[in-house]
Every structure is written in C-alpha cells, then in structure tokens.
Amino acid sequence: MHRRFVLAALGLAAAFPALAQEAAAPPEPAPALAHVRLQTSEGDILLALEKDRAPVTTANFLRYVDQKRLDGTSFYRATRVAPGFGLIQGGARNDPRRALPPIAHEPTSKTGLTHADGTISMARAAPGSATGDFFITVGAMPTMDADPSQPGDNLGFAAFGRVEQGMDVVHRILDAPVSPTEGEGAMRGQMLASPVKIITARRVD
C-alpha cells in the first residue's frame, strides 16, 4: 500500500510541471526599441526609443534623424529645479528650415510611459504642436505625465523613450552656465550661455 502511494505521488509530481507549462501563457515580447546616438560637444548620448508604445512620436523623431535635421542643432536650455534635478532641451528650435509639420499628441495615459529619470519627451505648446524640439529629464517628473483628473490642459508631454547611456553627459549639460537675461517668459534665465552642439544624430540599430 505504502509503495503504491509513493509511486502515485511521484507520478503526480512528474505530471504537474507539464500541466503548469501547458497552462502558463507565453511571455509577452518586449516592446520594440529604436536606438539613436546623439554625438554632442560634451559627449555621446544613446537613446532607446519606444517604437511600439509611442509610435507616432518615435517615427517623428526618427524622421528628423534620418533626414539629418538634428545635425548641427544644439541643447540650448537647462532648467535646474534643484541640484541634480531638472531637464535639458534641444533640437530644431522651431527653425523653419529644419522643422517638419507638427504631430498628433501621444499622452502618457495612452502610451503607458512615464517621465522617469532620463526620459526623452517632446517639447510642445498646445497639444498637437510638437515638431523637432525635445527634452530629457533629470530625476523623475510625474507632473509632466498626463493627468485627466486635472482641469485645463491635462495631457502632459509625450514621453517616447529613455537615455540608455550618457546620463553623465546629460548632467553636465544641466549644470552648464545659463544666461541670466536670455529667454522669454518662463524660460528666462534657463537658456545656456554656450549651447551644447548636437554634432550628429544617427540610428545605431
């Protein structure tokens, strides 16, 4: 009797892994990423862009890269909220010779992305006005995410990737001297005294 019980228990133990394997759902594939390297006068920044989760915004940025519209532009703004916390902004700076038509806004409530440390996101005025200017966060900034519970323009900014390598470069740009007089409105005192050149922007996939 005891021997039959042991054999039955062993049989069940052998069967359970197979049953569990059959019942388990296959793992979801990781979201597709596009990698872009920004070669700047302060060093390289490697970006991982969310092709699956933010397809409109990523495709727009890649158009600027593929058409070399970011070559020779700069990081021109550094907003320091606190030591080691803020954002840097760069890109076409609304130059009509470089800017492509504005794109539809992809809020974080749709993409599932957030403005974590090292997030790349599109600069904009009204929703749907983003063209070729972007920013990179230093430190988590959840206030830049969409928040439908808030009144007014609650769509936040369109996050579409992250810095994979080169946050040391981002920090150096954030800490660079700013002009006390340049810039309009909220950007006054946030413009870099010596903009950091974006020499090239290239896909590396």
**pTM of model > 0.95:** no
Tens digits of per-residue pLDDT, 111-158? 999 999 999 999 999 999 999 999 999 999 999 999 999 999 999 999
Band (205; pLDDT cuts 50, 70, 90): confident
* Single-letter amino acid, residue 179: S
Spatial CA neighbour of 128 closest among 152, 105, 99, 106: 105
Is residue 74 scored above 50 in pLDDT? yes
- Quick one: pLDDT at residue 22? 52
Distance CA 82, CA 86 (A): 7
* Torsion angle, alpha carbons of 47, 88, 174, 75, to 10: 80
What digits encode the pLDDT tens for the residues 185-195? 888 999 999 99
